[in-house]
Chain A
Amino acid sequence: MKKTLAIVFLVFLFAVQFMNSYAIQRFPKPEFESGYVQPETLLPNPRAEMLAILDIAVLIISLSVVSWLVIKKRNRNAVFWMSVFALAYFGFYREGCVCSIGSIQNVTLAIFDTSYLIPLSAIIFFMAPLVYTAFFGRTFCAAVCPFGAIQDLVAFSPQKLGSRLNAVLGVIPYIYLGLAVLYAATGTDFIICRYDPFVGIWRLDASFGMFIFGGILLVVGIFIARPYCRFLCPYGVLLNWTSRFSRKHITITPAECIQCRLCENSCPYDAIEMPVTTKNPEDKGTMARKLIFITILIPILMLAGGWVGSRLHEPLASVNAKVRLAKQILNPVTEKNQPETFEIEAFKSAGKQQSQAFAEASVVLHKFYIGSWILGGFIGLVFGGLIAGRMMTKHRTDYTPNKGTCLSCVRCVDYCPVKLPK
């Protein structure tokens, strides 16, 4: 009796094992008599790892050369040819991956998810441009970034936008950066890569929608120079703030500004600050009142933003695959003849418990709740900063590039009549 039971149990075990092993070898491989030789399964190798080191080397050398051309040589032509090189190498040859803009997400994911091993090239592509910017201004934007390079080539007839429009549109990159960090930190998606308008041009292959988006940006870029860099690029936010404290920065004039106004319209990016001559400098009372207003306003805006953000955490989280799956389990498609979604099918075939899927989804939802509070607060802070910046009047006597928004393209230098004595 015991023996029979044991045999039945063993047979059952084998049966279970066989069912698990997914149809492998139902029909044994035949023994050929005709001397047939089985062909080998061809498995092409991926790109050699050494070439990633080459990318890093090209990045560092380009950054050094462009910084030298911008700060020391002040040569627009040379910078232009470097940007053509960047377009060819990082754009068309490397097909846009890995890029500094996207590496924000790799770094964020690596910080929040310890099991994600970030490749060395992603760390360097994130860090190196920031370090160079801290010393020389945004030379990366000038002629190393392929995004900037392709838009710079089409900027034929740049128009002035006015400082108000520039300031308002300039808020978009902050929101984009916040969203990208939120989605990368929760391991949901890399939205910067997903909505990359130019990658389709590098690869000459993209969805219709992304081609239209990239095409529109290039057409708009004829009249509004570098629309992606100024009003979308999330990496530009980091570069902007680093550049404000840079050690050196391109200057329009090599010596003293003579107020000739020749450079006034030379900047395609509206990054030249005009002299501000206020006749009556504001008295201390108004200044103090403004300061108090701002110190009260910013926390209120941050709290309001955080509250609004936290209300929106569920719609924000609905992009996440785990949340989507849990929703589909909760609300299955009720219509008859409707096949179940692939997500449900995969979930069933994986043999997981429903409770496990719900638990995973609720962990993600909680992360989104905290994340959207922070995101909302951050957006509130950005708007507060925008208002504060508009309220403050700055004293300026000369024409100077705005260290934050100047892209170090060196166009303005040629307009300056002041030359250093040789």
Chain B
Amino acid sequence: MQNRRDFLNMLCRGSILTGLAATTGILVYRSVKGGNCELGSSCTNCGKSDSCDLPEASLFRQTVWQLDPSKCIQCGRCAENCVMSPSAVKVTHVYAMCGYCDLCGGYLKPDTKNISTAAENQLCPTAAIKRKFVEDPFYQYTIDEPLCIGCAKCVKGCGAFGNGSLQLQVRHDRCVNCNECAIARDCPADAFSRVPANKPYLLQGIEAKPEERI
């Protein structure tokens, strides 16, 4: 200790460090003890994380962004607002839910005269859905992912006329996991949330057992 100035410096430094330590302590304490487990999008929402055995409740879980297809209204902003271009949100086909229809609401424009793969009949602006004959009268629809821009036109069509097997999802091979998702803050339906990185998808109907489907 040389003089008064050094002493004051030390005092200020000490209080800054104490403040930082206290903040860290509070945040860590909250993560361990109190607080609600917001990550339980698939959990039963018990409310407390300290007595929870689920992997969602583990300390400081990394989270990723995902959108809930049940809230999505297919507004098309996912295609425009993502920091990536084309968007990291793309349509995901849950084959387990698909009806393999010939007259597919996700593939064909609603006012189409004849059912064919002609470009003018396709709903998708980038022709990212591939239609393949399986057996009469069923067709398989596959997403050509590099082409998909996430505009959700097919999702709207499939939800309106079909089974809803086409669902928008954040594709984690493309998502850079921004601190604040640029789509999430402009999503009108509040469908985006942080989900635990070990359960990064929120698809509907993919976990349904076969007997429950019909």
- Enumerate chain A interface residues (CB-CB to B < 8 A): 22-30, 32-34, 36, 38-41, 43-47, 49, 52, 95, 97-99, 102-103, 105-107, 110-111, 114-123, 127, 130-131, 134, 189-190, 193-194, 199, 203, 205-206, 241-242, 244-247, 321, 341-343, 345-346, 349-350
Contacts and interface: CB of A to CB of B under 8 A. Distances in A.
B189 A346 contact: yes
Given A114-B35, A114-B36, A102 B96 contact: no
A246 B62 contact: no
B16 A346 contact: no
Contacts of B31: 117-118
A245 B134 contact: no
A44 B164 contact: no
A411 B10 CA distance: 27
Contacts of B97: 24-25, 29
Contact of A46 (B23, B135, B177): B177
B173 A245 contact: no
A29 B210 CA distance: 10
A209 to B, nearest CB: 13
Contacts, number: 202
Given A29-B213, A46-B200, A114-B30, A123 B24 contact: yes
A43 B178 CA distance: 19
B62 to A, nearest CB: 5
B74 to A, nearest CB: 9
A97 B83 CA distance: 12
Contacts of B63: 117, 119
B135 A36 contact: yes
B214 A98 contact: no
B98 A29 contact: yes
A88 B201 CA distance: 31
A163 B99 CA distance: 72
B115 to A, nearest CB: 15
Given A97-B177, A116-B38, A321 B24 contact: no
B101 interface: yes
A190 B83 contact: no
Interface in B179-214: 179-180, 182, 185, 188-190, 194, 197-198, 200-201, 203-206, 213-214
Closest 8 CB pairs of A and B: A27-B99, A190-B180, A346-B189, A120-B60, A342-B188, A44-B173, A46-B172, A342-B75
A186 to B, nearest CB: 13
Interface string B74-95: 0101000001110000001111
B12 interface: yes
Interface string B124-146: 00000000001100101010000
Nearest to A349: B73
B107 interface: no
A41 B91 CA distance: 11
Contact of B35 (A23, A117, A206): A117
B164 A24 contact: yes
Interface string B56-73: 000111111000001101
A52 B62 contact: yes
A32 B138 contact: yes
